Chain A
Amino acid sequence: MKKILAAALVLSAIPAATLLSSAIQQEKVAKVSLKVGDTAPDFTLLSDQWKPVKLSDYKGKKNVLLAVYVLAFTGG
């Protein structure tokens, strides 16, 4: 029984280690991968009114300014 448990632990440790290393790699290449001239990937996100807002809803109608603001509602 102990052996089975040990094998299961190792298996679960592998994905965790893989995740960690990919995160560290991302830190090294921390750059917005999007470039000027690229088509902006579409997205649907919930607004503060709990309504879905889709980027493509603005296509042909409005220019969009996306401001990514980290931890907006915190004191820090």
Chain B
Amino acid sequence: MSGDHHHPVPLSDVERRAKALEELLVEKGIVTTDFIDAVVDAYAHDVGPMNGAKVVARAWVDRAYKERLLADGTAAIAELGFGGAEGDHMVVVENTPSVHNVVVCTLCSCYPWPVLGLPPNWYKSPPYRSRMVREPRALLAEMGCPLPDDVEVRVWDSSAEVRYLVLPERPDGTDRLSEDELAQLVTRDAMIGVVRL
């Protein structure tokens, strides 16, 4: 895959200054990366990942919707009113008892904003980006998601052209839950594919 697909535009001047401020202030001990991550997580709940969770819950309760979602993720997600920049070429990949999907962006941090909100910091870290391709089973196990040997792992490399969303398996014992209640069960990490529900 060409790196050009990941970076159609270089970093803007303000993006560089913002990143430089973060780095320098962390180095000076004024603020920690963990703190910033925590704030980002808290505020991210205002934009997502609830959008993605609603998509997953709908797919769990509506077979026809699920078929449309897997056939054309962008269009099916737009049915629920979500989309726009960073989410206009969505591909949804389905977990099954024999297949586990996980999403990475090997070259930078391409991420489906409109459905998942802000990306966690580890998603952008070099170890995640390299190891998820090289040794996904080992890394998933370290992240608390050990997989049986007979489960195939599929790693999807996001780019500016295609953003992936994992459709987790519906947990057992949830037959009586409403669509809204089901959405509450769906986590950001499950839709990236680093946990199973």
- Are A and B physically bound partners? no
- A positions within 8 Å CB-CB of B: none
- B positions within 8 Å CB-CB of A: none
